[in-house]
Amino acid sequence: MNGRLFVIGIGPGDARYLTPEAEAALGAADTLYGYTPYLDRVPVRSGQARQPSDNREEGARAAAALRHAAEGASIALVSGGDPGVFAMAAAVCEAIEAGPDAWRAIALDIIPGVTAMLAVAARIGAPLGHDFCALSLSDNLKPWPLIEQRLDAAAGAGFVLALYNPVSRARPWQLGAAFARLRRHLPDRTPVVFGRAVGRVDEHVVVTTLAAADAAAADMATLVIVGSPETRVVPRPGRAPLVYTPRSALGLTQEACGELGGHHLPNGERKQAECAETSCVPSSRKLS
Ligand code: SAH
């Protein structure tokens, strides 16, 4: 008998962020699996069992949920935010690929959720309004030099960065090292947003600059957004400033900017100045 596995994103915070689809899938499960704090956010239903587990046991949790579903049960595996963003959906796919054939016959539903970077971005304006990329700063599943290489490439290419897993008790220095790395590429005034526990009662959002950004302001529940050289801060009287990245960006012609090498620009300020000198083509900056 083939069971069913729902991998469900419950969003970043309280029930406001739960989609109707996620809510229905949670109601349809016999047993819920997940990291304890995420399960704690799901209302208890009579007759529904719970299998909480520790944060670093994603592979074992995915395998346990698949084994249970293969017995014919309807299982929900709960993820914070979106299950496909640094979370359980990939762990389940890895387990299915490596596991017994019977796991491929299980009906699998991956239910999206509001990921942390979207919730943080929405609090302060539209920092992800133009091209951006998301990186996890955790070096549990990849080596730190690869993270540095990706920070260089993304910042050098003008992407806004959403940094997940910026610090943890076991990883205290990574965010500071990432800021130091990014300062090689980006202007001091580049906006940086620390969004902590967004959507929860202890939510706290701070906007600062790359020059002033202090890694000590982040913890495990914080998502950090580092702007691009295009990202702007709009002060407003009596209101929090708006942080946004315009929908259009300066374009660089191949000939004029080829020598900048695209990736390893010394800093974003220089990029704009040199482009002006070397007649790079600015695209329209009109905003409606
Ligand atoms: N699947 C999750 C991300 C898991 S990685 C998602 O889509 O959001 C865990 C990291 O997500 C945390 O270290 C933090 O960087 C970020 N995060 C999760 N919930 C958050 C919240 N409510 N506010 C800010 N950041 C959050």
Terminal-to-terminal C-alpha distance of the chain: 56
Name the token pair of 234.
Answer: 């709009």
Residue range 23-36: mean pLDDT, rounded: 95
% residues pLDDT > 90 (the chain)? 83
Under 8 Å between Cβ of 114 and 82 = yes
Which residue has the least CA distance to atom 9 on ligand 1?
165
Ligand 1: centre distance to CA 173 (Å):
19
CATH 3.30.950.10 domain range(s) in the chain? 117-247
Under 8 Å between Cβ of 82 and 112 = yes
Ligand 1: centre distance to CA 258 (Å):
37
Query: Which of 17, 86, 111, 137 for a ligand 1 pocket mutation test, highest count of atoms within 8 Å of Cβ?
Result: 86
Residue range 15-32: mean pLDDT, rounded: 96
Whole-number Å distance between alpha carbons of 250 and 244? 15
CATH code of 117-247, in short, is 3.30.950.10
Average pLDDT, the chain: 88
Residue range 244-266: mean pLDDT, rounded: 61
Q: How many CB atoms are located within 10 Å of the residue 103 CB?
A: 21
Looking at residue 223, its pLDDT comes to 98
The DSSP H or E segment spanning 178 is helix 174-183
pLDDT tens track for 193-208: 999 999 999 999 999 9
pLDDT for residue 288 is more than 80:
no
Whole-number Å distance between alpha carbons of 98 and 71? 18
Cross-strand partners of 53: 35
Which residue has the least CA distance to atom 13 on ligand 1?
165
Give the C-alpha distances (Å, rounded to integers) separating 69 from 31, 49, 62, 142, 208.
9, 13, 11, 30, 47
Looking at residue 252, its pLDDT comes to 60
Atom of ligand 1 nearest to the CA of 200: 22
Name the token pair of 95.
Answer: 């387990």
Q: Return the amino acid letter for 146.
A: L
CATH 3.40.1010.10 domain range(s) in the chain? 4-114
| Cβ neighbours of residue 64 closer than 8 Å, sequence gap 6 or more | 33, 51, 53
Residue 232: what are its φ and ψ, rounded to 5°? -120, 155
Give the C-alpha distances (Å, rounded to integers) separating 263 from 97, 159, 277.
35, 11, 19
The domain over range 4-114 is classified in CATH as 3.20.20.80 = no
Taking the whole predicted model, whether its pTM rises above 0.85 is answered as: yes
Looking at residue 261, its pLDDT comes to 41
Query: Which of 201, 223, 225, 226 for a ligand 1 pocket mutation test, highest count of atoms within 8 Å of Cβ?
Result: 223
Under 8 Å between Cβ of 163 and 174 = no
pLDDT for residue 273 is more than 60:
no
Under 8 Å between Cβ of 128 and 223 = no
Residue range 112-124: mean pLDDT, rounded: 98
Which residue has the least CA distance to atom 2 on ligand 1?
81
Under 8 Å between Cβ of 163 and 120 = no
Atom of ligand 1 nearest to the CA of 224: 15
pLDDT for residue 149 is more than 50:
yes
Under 8 Å between Cβ of 191 and 227 = yes
Name the band, by pLDDT with cuts 50, 70 and 90, for residue 55: confident
Residue range 224-235: mean pLDDT, rounded: 97
Which residue has the least CA distance to atom 6 on ligand 1?
81
The set of protein residues with a Cβ atom below 6 angstroms from ligand 1 is: 12-13, 79-82, 85-87, 115-116, 120, 164-166, 195-200, 220-223
pLDDT tens track for 57-99: 899 999 999 999 999 999 999 999 999 999 999 999 999 999 9
